[in-house]
Amino acid sequence: MYDVTIIGGGVCGAAVAMYLSKYDLKCCLLEKENDIAMSTTRANSGIVHAGYDPEPDTLMARLNVRGCELIEEICEQLNIPYKKCGSMVISFDSKDEAHLEELYERGIANGVRGMELINKEELLKREPNLANDVTGALYASSAAIVNPWRLCIGMAETAAKNGVEFYLDSEVTEIEKINGAFKVTAGGKTYETRFIINAAGLYADKIAALAGAQDFEIFASKGQYFLLDKTSSWLVNSVIFQCPTEKGKGVLISPTADGNIIVGPNAESNNERDDVSTTREGLDFVAQEAAKTSKLVDYRENIRSFSGLRANSDKKDFIIGESALCRHFINVAGIKSPGLSSSPAIGEYVIEILEDCGLIMTEKAEWSYPEAHICFAELSNEEKAEICKRNPKYGNIICRCNVVTEGEILDALDSSYIKPRTLDGIKRRTGTGMGRCQGGFCGVRVHEILCKYYGIDATEVLWDKNGSNIVAGKVGESND
Amino acid sequence: MTKHDIVIIGAGPAGLAAAVAAYEAGVKDILLLERDCEAGGILNQCIHNGFGLHRFGEELSGPEYAGKYIDMLKSTDVKLQLGTTVLNIENKIVSAVSEANGFEQFEAKAIILAMGCRERNRGPISVPGDRGKGVFTAGAAQRYLNIEGYLVGKKIVILGSGDIGLIMARRMTLEGAKVLAVSEIMPFTNGLSRNVAQCLEDFDIPLYLSHTVTKVIGKDSLEGIEISKVDENMKPIKGTEKYFECDTLLLSVGLVPENELTRQAGIDLDLRTRGASVGEDMQTSEEGVFACGNVLHVHDLVDYVSAESERAGRSAAKYVLGTAAAEKDGLNVNVGLNLGYTVPQRINRVNVEKGVDIFFRVRKKIRVGEIRVESNGEKIASFKREFLAPAEMEKITVPKVLLDKANGSITVSAIDLEEEAK
């Protein structure tokens, strides 16, 4: 019998798992895909918002501001790409300026520190590549950028190291209530548990329905992006937002924690929950909106266009708490923006909720973060020389665009608690194939490493989700 | 830190030819760095023939062509270090890393950049649609097929009619895959005419000119591709969609010189070629740093890569031996009407003995044309050329006597004589 079972291995599920791992409890996490960080977590802007956007006295306001603090700490502990680059909400007219003042006031109410209203001259001094018709900005120094899937993986790894069990390829298909506990069927196995944390993202309403506890609905809202090569990194220094509208925070231009530039997203409501396609219209819209912010975006430098899905709900705020319809069933649902920014604070908050529900929480005497993995590209020449002596595999560069070594890939395989099994799994942990050639050169070499490590045939290696086998067959096999 | 007269980065066709030529020109202390586990570069996966007609007067496969240069290299004392990736170049110090030797630094009197190019992929052309597996660059699929021995798919659509795409259309067909279509956004093919004939026409593979991929379909793995006809502004025309059920989309949409090291080193790049800006001696904006082959500009034929790289090798040798002429009588080469680019971008006339070769590509198809060289508005040389196309690199040799008439700069243009007659 588990004390707590988390459904969903996105950034919220991982955060809950990490905080739960600090206590003497038997916990597990069930994820339907073959890896964690597979949906909303892996396709978003990667922004840690300062916290001036949400209405005061909402969960979103409180958890965003707290999350913003926690992420910095976690990223430092786990060597996750993170940069406190600050954000700008820019204005183009007096209406926008009034809006900036409103945001500033809201930020004060939410406890955001380090905000500043700046004029055009100051804005263009700090961000010289913006359009010339800007009139000023709200600057927030606490806003940051983070690699979102690395944050998720880092927190999940911490949880796994400290005893939380992770089950992949485990889609929850049934939730039964027996004697004050639950029997969860997932991936053909059953898990008995006293508490359920529903962190199923885009499918949280479906999971709630399985427990007879559906009192909200999730709507997938698609956002499309361009990701530009690192050669475009001169474009902006901080996250540049336009004034938010009722539709969302609008199209932003921002550096990413990995050194690229991201441009997007648009917002397409009522999208299918599994449709992450890009469209010409959507991308054209993003480019058109971004042109208001800067005329200097060069789309020939685009290395990848992608879409992500927001898990919006029919409620204004996050839906976090014990379900009114089902005892010991705790929703972490409708986690729209600023969800990533709030994620560790959500984890922390769920602990409080569980305590209120009567779960006895005893802190473990021993708890620690896993050892941070080496990032070869970040090392000094002396450190590079030293580490190659220790393990020559760090001298073998596999991904030339991002300078990722065989040593780092083997680390991701050998010393991970949740082992990557696919090409994309390696990419999410090490950054291979994330550069300008998009795996054109390194894909085949990572493929080979996976074959060797798992002792499998080349035809069995997956690119990403189950069924996405990279090669169709051996040369010379009879063809039908 | 070890010292060498010349350090060459990349042992593909460019680096190999440069090394051999520099050695023959009298420099004995040469280090050739290669990140792969063998020399030859991309030639090693190009198992089709058609290489070497110009350079060796015979038709060779890629590995055979590379083999000829590797043999030549073996007869020299050039030190070839494999499995070694260069991390950066700063003030003629090359930092590199390898599994065998760890982190190393080499100080060079001269450096030759020969890193080659990479394939343009889905990003820069923003092919819309699903995220599923099954979109490969043609070269990646070629590597899987010819080196690793695996087919990436069985039902193929190819976007772009670049040479690698055409070669792969034939190769995949021969291995039992079905190539359903080659879609090219331009109204003409982007590969060599001989490849269109031998790789598509001979195998009845349909070529759709003025068509592009408008949708990639397949959530986890590719299931189909939609192509549409484009108008004269290359915008897809609604209602012209064609659907192909397939498991693979191969991209052959151009090559990009791989100049990250060059850029980091602060060397001037030409926005047109996306390679370094060089003189007639292949020297970049940094003294003693030379560039050649596809890292400089994308070539159609490896034979021309070899010729250019031999020139770079000889120039680097001259530089090391102190026999190079100082820059004097410099001429800038400007890109005029209908031209995509030129290499070299400047000419040091003291280095020119009989004449100087200027390589270029035109930006549109010209049936009857004239390549005009002007200086200060005056025509100093003119060359008649027929059937010019962007897909084929062209060359003119401007004699020294004519070059001496120029002042400050020259401008090279391609005049469409048929259009002019109208």
DSSP secondary structure string, B306-354? HHHHHHHHHHHHHHHHT-SPPS-SEEEEEE-TTEEEEESSEEEGGG-SS
Q: Which A residues in the span 435-474 are in contact with B, Cβ-Cβ below 8 Å? A: 436-441, 443-444, 448, 458-459, 463-474
Query: Which CATH number belongs to the domain containing residue A259 in this structure?
Result: 3.30.9.10
CA distance A31 to A8: 5
8 Å CB contact of A274 and B150: no
Q: What is the pLDDT of residues A273-316, one digit of tens each?
A: 999 999 999 999 999 999 999 999 999 999 999 999 999 999 99
| In contact, A30 and A5? CB cutoff 8 Å | yes
What's this model's pTM, rounded to 2 decimal places? 0.95
Residue A97 domain-assigned? yes
Q: Which A residues in the span 256-315 are in contact with B, Cβ-Cβ below 8 Å? A: 274-280, 282-283, 299-307
Q: Which A residues in the span 315-374 are in contact with B, Cβ-Cβ below 8 Å? A: none
| In contact, A237 and A311? CB cutoff 8 Å | no
Q: Are residues A164 and A287 in the same domain?
A: no
Q: What is the pLDDT of residues B224-268, one digit of tens each?
A: 999 999 999 999 999 999 999 999 999 999 999 999 999 999 999
Tokens of B394: 């062209």
State whether CATH 3.40.50.1860 applies to domain B121-253: no
Q: Which amino acid is at B347?
A: I
Question: Kindly report the CA angle at B63 between B59 and B67, in degrees rounded to 5?
Answer: 90
CA distance B287 to B265: 12
* pLDDT the model gives residue A394: 98
- Whether B334-421 and B121-253 are alike in CATH topology: the answer is no
B183: number of Cβ within 10 Å: 28
Helix A148-161, helix A11-20: angle, nearest 10: 30
Least confident range of A148-162, B139-153, B319-333: B319-333
- How many domains does chain A divide into? 3
Residue-wise burial string across A8-33, b where 16 or more C-beta atoms lie within 10 A, e elsewhere? bbbbbbbbbbbbbbbbebebbbbbbb
Q: What is the pLDDT of residues A350-396, one digit of tens each?
A: 999 999 999 999 999 999 999 999 999 999 999 999 999 999 999 99
Sequence-distant (≥ 6) Cβ neighbours of residue A220 within 8 angstroms:
A202, A270, A271, A272, A273, A275, A309, A310, A311, A312
Look at residues A431, A444, A373 and name the one whose alpha carbon lies nearest to residue A401: A431
8 Å CB contact of B119 and A465: no
List residues bridging with A115 in a β-sheet.
Answer: A140
CA distance A164 to A30: 11
8 Å CB contact of A475 and B149: yes
For B334-421, the fitting CATH number among 1.25.40, 2.60.40, 2.40.160, 2.40.50 is 2.60.40
* Domain spans in chain B, listed from the N-terminal domain onward: 2-118+256-324, 121-253, 334-421
Tokens of B109: 């009197």
Q: What is the pLDDT of residues B88-112, one digit of tens each?
A: 999 999 999 999 999 999 999 999 9
The residue of chain A with its CA nearest to that of B218 is A277
A118: domain range? 82-144+220-308
Residue A72 domain-assigned? no
Query: Which CATH number belongs to the domain containing residue A335 in this structure?
Result: 3.50.50.60
> Is residue A49 annotated as part of the catalytic site, yes or no?
yes
Span A443-469, mean pLDDT?
Answer: 96
Candidate from B97, B100, B215 with C-beta closest to A384 = B97
Task: Check if B264 contacts A (Cβ < 8 Å).
Answer: no
CA distance A285 to A450: 39
Residue A416 domain-assigned? yes
CA distance A72 to A74: 6
Span A393-402, mean pLDDT?
Answer: 96
CA distance B256 to B274: 7
CA distance B416 to B384: 10
Q: Are residues A336 and A299 in the same domain?
A: no
Q: Which A residues in the span 160-219 are in contact with B, Cβ-Cβ below 8 Å? A: none
Q: Are residues A291 and A187 in the same domain?
A: no
Q: Are residues A257 and A406 in the same domain?
A: no
Nearest chain A Cα distance for residue B89, angstroms: 13
Nearest chain B Cα distance for residue A377, angstroms: 9
- CATH top-level class for B2-118+256-324? alpha beta
